[in-house]
Amino acid sequence: GAVVSQHPSRVICKSGTSVKIECRSLDFQATTMFWYRQFPKQSLMLMATSNEGSKATYEQGVEKDKFLINHASLTLSTLTVTSAHPEDSSFYICSARDADRGTNEAFFGQGTRLTVV
C-alpha cells in the first residue's frame, strides 16, 4: 500500500512549549491529509482536514489557533501544538488518500505519542 510517514513517533515536552509533527506521503501526492487525535481507550477523533495550498478545515471544538496546520506541498502536512498543556497529551495520527489509486482507502502515519509534562 501507499506509505505515509509521520514523525516524531514519540515526544515529551514541557508545558507551555510548542511541538511540531510532520506527516509525509512518501510515494504519492496527497492534496488532502487528515489529522486525528486519540485518547486512551477512545476512538480516533478527527481534528482537521488539511488542504494543500489552502487553510485547513477544523472540526467543531478544535481550536485552530492552538493546533496550527500547514500543508505547503503535496507530500507534507505539519501539525503544531502550540503552548502545549498536559491535557494535550494524546496520540496524534495523520492520514492521506492516494487519489490516483481509484480506491477510497486511507493510509495512516505511524502516529505521534505526545506527553506534556
Partner 1 sequence: RKEVEQDPGPFNVPEGATVAFNCTYSNSASQSFFWYRQDCRKEPKLLMSVYSSGNEDGRFTAQLNRASQYISLLIRDSKLSDSATYLCAVNIFKNDKLIFGTGTRLQVFP
Contact set with partner 1 (CB under 8 A): 1, 32, 34, 36, 42-46, 49, 91, 93, 95, 97, 99, 103-111, 113
Nearer to partner 1, 1 or 61 (CB): 1
Q: How far apart are CA 110 and CA 117, in angstroms?
A: 22
Please state the closest distance from residue 59 (CB atom) to partner 1, in A.
8
DSSP string over 87-114: GG-EEEEEEEE-GGGSS--EEE---EEE
- Report the b/e string of 30-50 with b at 16+ CB within 10 A: beebbbbbeeeeeebeebbeb
Please state the closest distance from residue 16 (CB atom) to partner 1, in A.
26
Nearer to partner 1, 63 or 105 (CB): 105
Nearer to partner 1, 88 or 111 (CB): 111
